[in-house]
Amino acid sequence: MQMLRSLLVVALLASACGGGGDTGTPTTTDAPTTTTLSPTTTTLPPTTTTTTTTTTTTTTTLPPTTTTLPPRPPTIDELLALDRPLNLAHAGGDQDHPHSTMYAFRRAAEAGVDLLEMDVRITTDGVLVVHHDADVFGTTGGEGVVSEMTVAELQELDNAWWWSSTCWPCRDLADDDYPFRGVRTGDAEPPEGFTADDFRIETFRSVAEAFPTLALDVEIKNRGDHAEAAIAALVADLDALDRRDSVVVVSFSSDVVAAFNEAAPDVATSPGTDEMIAWILGGETLGDHPVVQVPPRYDGVEVLIEAFFSAVAEAGVEVWVWPDSTEQEAGGFYAELLDLGIDGIIAGRPAVLEQVLQDGGYVD
């Protein structure tokens, strides 16, 4: 019965985004590394043109032609082929920086992460934005539902209003404990090198465009009535950005994952809850997914147990783990996960994880 309960927990928690908790002091690294592909430079050989007349022959040699292609992110296949643990920044590193802000994503990129993890929702005017909750209160202190608001309305809000390094979910601290409160609205100065816009609710496209050399792990939060619109918007953005091969898409809803697969069968996905149940408990074959994403434990029950790893080995998939408490967002726990052979960690403190990877000899 304990084994059955543990396996059921795995299935019910198969999504990229975990819970929150109070946080400690932010930590950064001094020597970030990053997995990116450099711009491609193609040099064509010199061109020689010969012109012949009845009396003379003229030969003109043109200089070599150099074409520099724009940078591109590694594909998901290329990242998995690295055969080392991957560093994924959960909402940009929500324990160290304001959740889902451009500020957080930029700091994560500086730390040397491999992928940016994010949640997306559709607005009333059909734009995909990077936001976790159905409403806006949790990060902005404002009122409203994302699916009933326009992008313009959402971007007026202060997306760092409630963030604190001392207690991530606390809403009753002194004003001074919310260090970025008011930056978005012009009531406080932004950190050096950043602007007020770095603390707003961002569109998915703006984040993807800002980091052309990083792959993305994208969770579709919409279900039911708004899921179809969110899927269509995501596919359209991926096509516009030529990003189909550098993204993993996930949802708690297996129906959403299936609908997305139908719309974009060449984009990598992670399974939803129902499919995980059918796989672990029902013995059904796991669908065509390169990775599964799970928490380490739930309600005191271990998820990363021997039976789970046996199923993973048989299916031939990678395992990405998202810590589900503030206590787990620490270097010691990250190291424990790496000792288990976890293929990727969706970290709230990506700079700390990067240091652990360097100390452990996983990256240079």
pLDDT beyond 50 at 27:
no
Give the mean model confidence (pLDDT) for residues 97-105: 98
Find the helix or strand (DSSP H, E) in which 217 lies.
strand 215-220
147-174 residue pLDDT tens: 999 999 999 999 999 999 988 889 999 9
Shortest CA distance to 180 belongs to which of 90, 98, 92, 91? 98
Shortest CA distance to 130 belongs to which of 17, 219, 210, 209? 219
Rounded CA separation 255/252 (Å): 9
pLDDT beyond 80 at 43:
no
In our burial notation (b when 16+ CB lie closer than 10 A, e otherwise), range 323-356 reads: bbbbebbbeebbeebbeeebbbbbbbbbbbbbbb
Rounded CA separation 11/266 (Å): 24
Percentage of the chain lying above the pLDDT 90 cut? 73
Shortest CA distance to 139 belongs to which of 186, 92, 190, 107? 92
User: Can you give the pLDDT at residue 298?
Assistant: 61
Reduce the secondary structure of 48-91 to three states and give it as a string.
EEEEECCCCEEEEEECCEEEECCCCCCCHHHHHCCCCCEEEEEC
Shortest CA distance to 207 belongs to which of 146, 139, 119? 119
- When computed from its CA atoms, the radius of gyration of the chain, rounded to whole angstroms, is 23
As a dihedral over the C-alpha atoms of residue 166, residue 112, residue 352, residue 158, rounded to 10 degrees, the angle is: 10
What are 156's two structure tokens?
A: 């007026």
Rounded CA separation 131/257 (Å): 19
Q: Is 64 or 290 the better-scoring residue by pLDDT?
A: 290
User: Can you give the pLDDT at residue 299?
Assistant: 64
Give the mean model confidence (pLDDT) for residues 281-286: 90
Helix (H, G, I), strand (E, B) or coil at 117: strand
- Enumerate residues 6+ apart whose C-beta is below 8 A from 186: 196
Percentage of the chain lying above the pLDDT 70 cut? 81
**Average model confidence (pLDDT) across the chain:** 87
User: Can you give the pLDDT at residue 33?
Assistant: 41
181-212 residue pLDDT tens: 999 999 999 999 999 999 999 999 999 999 99
Rounded CA separation 265/256 (Å): 13
Largest CA-CA distance found in the chain, in angstroms, rounded: 98
* Complete DSSP assignment for 222-244: --GGGHHHHHHHHHHHHHHHT-G
pTM of the model: 0.84
User: Can you give the pLDDT at residue 69?
Assistant: 75
Helix (H, G, I), strand (E, B) or coil at 120: strand
